[in-house]
Chains A and B, each alone.
Chain A
Amino acid sequence: MDNNGGEETAHACAAKRAGWSGVSDLWSAVESAALLIFTLDSDLVEIVLRSLRVTLTAVTIAAVIGLPFGAALALLRFPGRRLILVALDTLMGLPPVTVGLLVYLMLSRSGPLGTLGLLYTTTAMIIAQCLLVAPIIAALTRQTIEDLWEEYRDELRSLGASTLGAAGTLLWEGRVTLMTAMLAGFGRASAEVGAVMIVGGNIDHVTRVMTTTIALETSKGNLALALGLGIILVCVSLLVAAGIHGFKATAHRWGA
């Protein structure tokens, strides 16, 4: 990434001589970002696509687990439920580094799942991000479905809906709010660096993603380039958020 000429503009060089100081550096960061985007730097494209693939896969799997789990917690009453709710809320604040370490110890050759040889692959990164995101989706789903259940309980009961049927109906009714839950999950996963650094290893062309590249360039002292990459990451998040909003608008038209 450092040979792409993005930081070799006259302005960036001047900023380099002057050291890292305020506005001019912010400008050269914007400049490096723009250059990387407009030249469609092949390394950058590769890294952005890998970031998206890892994070979107992780969020999808987390949704497949989190949505039914959250709905079950909302509709079922069983001993120990309170305990699970508190645990779930706690897990929402799980530090990514801790999750990374946990997954590392599991997948390490000396760990219980070592024979799978998954460490330092994107699969390991997906597993780690999934563990970070699933509690958020489950907890927000639980809240959404519980609120909707209060509202529609009598109606659904009079229709003779089973618990499973009610869960399906409520998940569909709450889809717009649940989209926001998934977006929150996407935000947590895509912004995270600690876990993917440990289980992915930041290997060039294999497990290097946006956030680990930013960390790497920062440690090389290429602050303008690092910030430029940060700007691109925000742009990618913006596109995803805009996509979700478009989806929501469509969902509303269908008569939610």
Chain B
Amino acid sequence: MASTTSTENSGLFAHILPQFQRETGIAVRVVAVGTGQAMTIAERGDADVLFVHHRPSEDKFVADGFGVGRRDVMYNDFLIVGPAADPARIQNVADVTAALAKIAAANAIFISRGDDSGTHKLERTLWSTAGVDVSAASGSWYREAGASMGGTLNIASAVDGYTLSDRGTWLSFRNRGSLTVLLEGDQRLRNPYGVILVNPARHPHVKAADGQAFIEWLTSPRGQAAIADFKIDGETLFFPDAQAGGS
């Protein structure tokens, strides 16, 4: 299965996969990369199941015939984290694009994933909604790390920069320095995860039965309960939202 660093690094898979293996005897091997790379891996037929979080890319993946039967699995949300000193004064701003505009106006350092991941894609969408041309600022206050979520947080922590992080990685992240959560709760920061079977008609070697079994389990009451049951410091990381029959 090709999936994202956010699910693997947060510890979700270590929590749910052993349970799936106990119940079905199927072992899942996870390659955790950014959503963009995960999709390339799946498109080339190097994975059986794709488990990512960028809806437009997922729909395109299915429309292009690379995958079949996309299902909602769960969602979590994104946060803007930044230095506690908050030089751009976004602490009491509720609107995420307004906050980003303030960061840009203050020329405050913002660390971007810069790796074509689901998080990066959402971040670029938010910047363009905010009317900020970050490409022009790249290398000055806007810095593209080309790193995983954790790697990006390490950099933000070291230079006291702002960044967009998913809640899961943030909660399990241990090197926070002066970083703290400055903005959360905007509807646009909701982060839905979907699971897709790589199209066996296109790649005949795909283990379709095992892959489908995993998708069925993940979206079943048992799988959904396992996801809801995963907590860090008492906080639920991922909220299950699968519906019977798929979407």
Interface members, chain B 18-74 (any A CB < 8 Å): 29-32, 44-46
Q: Fill in one digit per residue for A9-50: 1 if any B CB lies within 8 Å of its CB, else 0.
A: 000000010011000000000000000000000000000000
Task: Given A16-B174, A109-B45, A219-B148, check contact A120 B154 (CB 8 Å).
Answer: no
Q: Fill in one digit per residue for A99-117: 1 if any B CB lies within 8 Å of its CB, else 0.
A: 0000000001111001101
Which residue of chain B has its CB nearest to the CB of A121?
B29
Is A220 within 8 A of B177, CB to CB?
no
Instruction: Check if B149 is an interface residue, CB within 8 A of chain A.
Output: yes
Cβ of B29: which chain A residues have Cβ within 8 Å of it?
120, 201, 203, 206
CA distance A173 to B176 in the complex (A): 56
Is B46 within 8 A of A218, CB to CB?
no
Cβ of B31: which chain A residues have Cβ within 8 Å of it?
120, 201-203
Cβ of A110: which chain B residues have Cβ within 8 Å of it?
44-46
Q: Number of B interface residues, CB 8 Å? A: 28
Cβ of B173: which chain A residues have Cβ within 8 Å of it?
220-221
Q: Fill in one digit per residue for B110-149: 1 if any A CB lies within 8 Å of its CB, else 0.
A: 0000000000000000000000000000000000000111
Is B205 within 8 A of A117, CB to CB?
yes
Q: For residue B125, give the distance in angstroms from its CB to the closest CB of chain A.
A: 24
Instruction: Check if B151 is an interface residue, CB within 8 A of chain A.
Output: yes
Cβ of A222: which chain B residues have Cβ within 8 Å of it?
174-175
Instruction: Check if B203 is an interface residue, CB within 8 A of chain A.
Output: yes
CA distance A117 to B175 in the complex (A): 38
Q: For residue A87, give the distance in angstroms from its CB to the closest CB of chain B.
A: 30
Cβ of A127: which chain B residues have Cβ within 8 Å of it?
none
Q: For residue A208, give the distance in angstroms from its CB to the closest CB of chain B.
A: 11
Instruction: Check if B180 is an interface residue, CB within 8 A of chain A.
Output: no
Q: Number of A interface residues, CB 8 Å? A: 26
Instruction: Check if B97 is an interface residue, CB within 8 A of chain A.
Output: no
Which of A7, A119, A206, A219 is the most central at the interface, judged by chain B CB atoms within 10 Å of its CB? A219
Instruction: Check if B76 is an interface residue, CB within 8 A of chain A.
Output: no
Cβ of B46: which chain A residues have Cβ within 8 Å of it?
108-110, 119-120
Cβ of B175: which chain A residues have Cβ within 8 Å of it?
19-20, 221-223
Instruction: Check if A204 is an interface residue, CB within 8 A of chain B.
Output: yes
Is A220 within 8 A of B9, CB to CB?
yes
Interface of B (DSSP majority class): loop
CA distance A203 to B33 in the complex (A): 11
Is A220 within 8 A of B205, CB to CB?
no
Instruction: Check if B5 is an interface residue, CB within 8 A of chain A.
Output: yes
Task: Given A19-B175, A201-B31, check contact A219 B45 (CB 8 Å).
Answer: no
Instruction: Check if B200 is an interface residue, CB within 8 A of chain A.
Output: no
Q: For residue A18, give the distance in angstroms from its CB to the closest CB of chain B.
A: 10
Cβ of B150: which chain A residues have Cβ within 8 Å of it?
218-221
CA distance A206 to B30 in the complex (A): 10
Cβ of A154: which chain B residues have Cβ within 8 Å of it?
none
Instruction: Check if B11 is an interface residue, CB within 8 A of chain A.
Output: yes
CA distance A16 to B45 in the complex (A): 41
Interface members, chain A 211-238 (any B CB < 8 Å): 216, 218-223
Is A2 within 8 A of B11, CB to CB?
yes
Interface members, chain A 109-140 (any B CB < 8 Å): 109-111, 114-115, 117, 119-120
CA distance A166 to B148 in the complex (A): 53
Q: Fill in one digit per residue for B157-199: 1 if any A CB lies within 8 Å of its CB, else 0.
A: 1000000000000001111111000000000000000000000
Cβ of B30: which chain A residues have Cβ within 8 Å of it?
203-204
Residues of B within 8 A of A (CB): 5, 9, 11, 14, 29-32, 44-46, 147-151, 153-154, 157, 172-178, 203, 205
Can you identify 11 A-B contacts, CB atoms within 8 angstroms?
A: A16-B174, A110-B44, A110-B45, A111-B44, A114-B45, A119-B46, A201-B31, A216-B9, A218-B154, A219-B147, A223-B154
Given A2-B11, A111-B44, A218-B150, 8 other A-B residues pairs in contact with their CB atoms under 8 A? A7-B174, A109-B46, A110-B44, A203-B31, A218-B151, A220-B150, A221-B154, A223-B154
